């Protein structure tokens, strides 16, 4: 996670990154809409989309880990 940013900001950036990757794929590559539909059906995606999805997954995992740590420290207090 980036220092100096909130978890909400990191989540927003990761979501925007995924949306941007999908829009770029749809608008700039031949058969973009078909590629997007195929991704929804099969899960096969371009490298950029896979990276954006991984970044979103990592961001969500970090937020959940922070929440678990916070909940654990609250129950011990």
In a domain, 68, yes or no: yes
Residue 59, Cβ neighbours under 10 Å: how many?
20
58: containing domain: 7-76
Question: Is the per-residue pLDDT at 1 higher than 80?
Answer: no
In a domain, 54, yes or no: yes
In a domain, 67, yes or no: yes
Model confidence, pTM: 0.80
Question: Is the per-residue pLDDT at 77 higher than 80?
Answer: no
Question: What is the tally of structural domains in the chain?
Answer: 1
In a domain, 42, yes or no: yes
Q: Please list, in sequence order, all residues whose beta carbon lies within 8 angstroms of the beta carbon of residue 56, skipping any fewer than 6 positions away.
A: 14, 15, 17, 18
Instruction: For residues 34-62, give the mean pLDDT.
Output: 93
pLDDT of residue 3: 60
In a domain, 2, yes or no: no
pLDDT of residue 62: 95
């Amino acid at each position: 996670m980036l220092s100096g940013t909130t978890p909400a900001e990191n989540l927003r950036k990761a979501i925007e990154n995924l949306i941007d990757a999908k829009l770029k794929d749809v608008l700039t590559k031949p058969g973009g809409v078909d590629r997007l539909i195929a991704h929804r059906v099969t899960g096969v995606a371009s490298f950029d989309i896979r990276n954006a999805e991984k970044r979103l997954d990592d961001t969500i995992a970090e937020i959940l880990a922070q929440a678990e740590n916070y909940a654990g420290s609250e129950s011990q207090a």
